[in-house]
Amino acid sequence: MTRVTRASRLSGLLASVALLAVTAVGCGSSDSGSGSGSSSSGTSGSDSKSVAGAYPVTLDHKFGSTTIKSEPKRIVTVGLTDQDAVLTLGKVPVATTEWLGGYKGAVGPWAQDKLGGAAAPTVLKDTGTGPQVEKIAALKPDLILAVYSGLTKSQYESLSKFAPVVAQPKAYNNYGVPWQQQTEEIGKALGKETEAKTLVSGVEDKFAAAKKANPAFAGASAVMATPYEGTFVFGSQDPRSRFLSDLGFSLPKDLDKVIGDQFGANISKERFDLLDQDVDVWIVPDTTSAVTKLHSDKVYADLNVVKQGREVFIKETSDYGNAVSLSTVLSIPYVLERMVPQLAAAVDGKTATKVEQPSS
């Protein structure tokens, strides 16, 4: 199965939010519109019983509000992870937007069974210049979802000319919407608000169970990072960092002061104190040579987190690594099964405990 590299994946996301010029951070850091209407060509596995009386529905977002007049049947996901919420709510998008690469229809193994007998969605590209507007228009969508996105106002207005668009929520950074709100917003758009809330509660119960089984997580500090163009650290509004917070870990005190209002940023060696936590979770190209390279940096290697063996390494192009990056209502249970044992080994207070790689 072909995989895209970590560099191309992260650089594409950075480009989408105008971060191509991100430079190493030293000792510190630093509209409205509307879409409406709905056509009804095509089908995507809808359940009409669950949407009775749900429409019209209006959703607020970064660029104003959008009204969906009737049940959508041809859904295009511009948000890079929105397809998982659509699938788990019983619908199959006609098109998705590729981010991770390597999966037919941009549907990971944790979500494959949700396709049922439906054909895999058409896969669109966003290399940092925005959605492929003409290709999306040709698909004749009656709903465009861009909840987990960095959509600009002009892109939103272009897409809104031919279908209602649900853009990213105003309250969060671009690509910063929590998986809970993402699922519930998409649930509202699909006329399945109650079902979405139930699904969210089910995953939150899994977090609660993991926390109860691992009391050492409470109060322990953690950070999520990747060796992209140096050392890239994810901020508190990034879904990967929220995964750690949802397990009870605390993030570095100055993290957002250094990151600013972005989902993450490169840090200089002067701020490697952000990495000296109770556990570091690294998303790496591989779990052998990439780790050796990290440990060859004398500044990093001298940190207690390294000396005491409290690191978790995740191969970023593996199914596990892809699921971590997606952080959706469908991928999170897949990640919990694999990462919780690793985190438990990292924070057990015994330097001799090895943090093992999951078997699959």
Q: What pLDDT does residue 106 have? A: 96
Q: Which of 33-42, 53-62, 235-244 has the lowest mean pLDDT?
A: 33-42
For the chain, the average pLDDT equals: 88
Q: What pLDDT does residue 15 have? A: 44
d(CA 160, CA 141): 11
d(CA 213, CA 176): 28
pLDDT tens digit sequence for 166-211: 999 999 989 889 999 999 999 999 999 999 999 999 999 999 999 9
Tokens for 258?
């250094």
Q: What pLDDT does residue 131 have? A: 95
Among 288, 327, 281, CA closest to 305: 281
Q: What pLDDT does residue 10 have? A: 54
> Please, are residues 327 and 321 in contact by the beta-carbon 8 Å criterion?
no
d(CA 312, CA 89): 32
Among 127, 144, 159, 179, CA closest to 333: 179
d(CA 189, CA 352): 50
> Please, are residues 123 and 95 in contact by the beta-carbon 8 Å criterion?
yes
Q: What pLDDT does residue 44 have? A: 42
Is the predicted pLDDT of residue 343 greater than 80, yes or no? yes
Buried-exposed string 220-236: b where 16+ CB fall within 10 A, e elsewhere: bbbbbbbbbeebbbbbb
Q: How many CB atoms lie within 10 A of CB 81?
A: 28
pLDDT tens digit sequence for 269-319: 999 999 999 999 999 999 999 999 999 999 999 999 999 999 999 999 999
Is the predicted pLDDT of residue 24 greater than 60, yes or no? no
d(CA 260, CA 227): 19
Helices 239-246 and 319-326 cross at an angle (nearest 10°) of 90
Q: What confidence category does residue 48 fall into, taking pLDDT thresholds of 50, 70 and 90?
A: very low
Identity of the residue numbered 248: G
Higher per-residue pLDDT: 117 or 7: 117
- Secondary structure (3-state) at 157: helix
Is the predicted pLDDT of residue 325 greater than 70, yes or no? yes
d(CA 196, CA 90): 11
The beta strand positions in the chain, using DSSP E, are 33-36, 57-61, 64-68, 75-77, 95-97, 122-124, 143-145, 165-166, 222-226, 232-234, 264-266, 279-284, 311-315
> Please, are residues 93 and 83 in contact by the beta-carbon 8 Å criterion?
yes
CA end-to-end distance (rounded Å), the chain = 15
d(CA 38, CA 23): 43
Q: What pLDDT does residue 129 have? A: 84
The pTM score is: 0.84
d(CA 48, CA 232): 45
- Sequence-ordered list of residues with C-beta below 8 angstroms from that of 321, at least 6 positions apart, any chain: 283, 314, 315
The beta strand positions in 10-53, using DSSP E, are 33-36
d(CA 218, CA 207): 12
Side by side, the strands of the sheet bearing 165-166 are: 122-124, 95-97, 75-77, 143-145, 165-166
Q: What pLDDT does residue 50 have? A: 61
201 HSE (CA, 13 A, CB side): 6
Partners of 283 in the β-ladder: 314
d(CA 102, CA 151): 24
